Structure 1
Amino acid sequence: MSLHVKCMTCKKEYLLDSGDPEYRKISSGLSKLYICKTCSMAMKEEAILTTGINPNMLDPKGHDKLVP
């Protein structure tokens, strides 16, 4: 089973298979928006450059690992 989706940023169409994590979010109704991996990485890099904060340095529980 697969879903046809369109990236909300670049407007390209993609086919998501049932093994993709985004497939579950969209098919269950948790999200109606899709951003392709290329656009997602571009936005992530822009956010890192703009804020100076790398998300890989943050703890998933919300505790910052950066020590001044």
Structure 2
Amino acid sequence: MSLEVQCFNCNGKFTLEHSDPQYAKIKTKQTKYYVCKSCNSSIKGEAIKQTGFDPKLLDPKGYDKLVP
């Protein structure tokens, strides 16, 4: 089963497959907004550039401390 969605940022139309991480959130109405992969990476890149903070530096175990 798939869902037809529209990107919140670029307004492009996409088909979400069951395996997509955003599928469950939209299907269960946890959110009504979808952001396509292209816009997601663009927004993430801009945020890293503006803040100078790379989320890859977060501790993978979830302790929210910077890893050298």
Q: Same fold (TM over 0.5)?
A: yes
The TM-score normalised by the length of structure 1 is: 0.89
Deviates more, 1:52-61 or 1:17-26: 52-61
CA RMSD of aligned residues (A): 1.3
The TM-score normalised by the length of structure 2 is: 0.89
- The runs of at least 4 aligned residues of structure 1 exceeding 4 Å deviation read none
Unaligned runs of 5+ in 1: none
Pairwise CA distance, 1:63: 2.1
Aligned residues: 67
Pairwise CA distance, 1:24: 0.7
Unaligned runs of 5+ in 2: none
- TM-superposition CA deviations, 1:3-62 (whole Å, max 9, x none): 000001000000001111111110011111000000000000000000000001012524
Show the counterpart of 2:52.
52
Pairwise CA distance, 1:66: 4.5
Q: Which residue identity does 1:35 align to in structure 2?
A: V
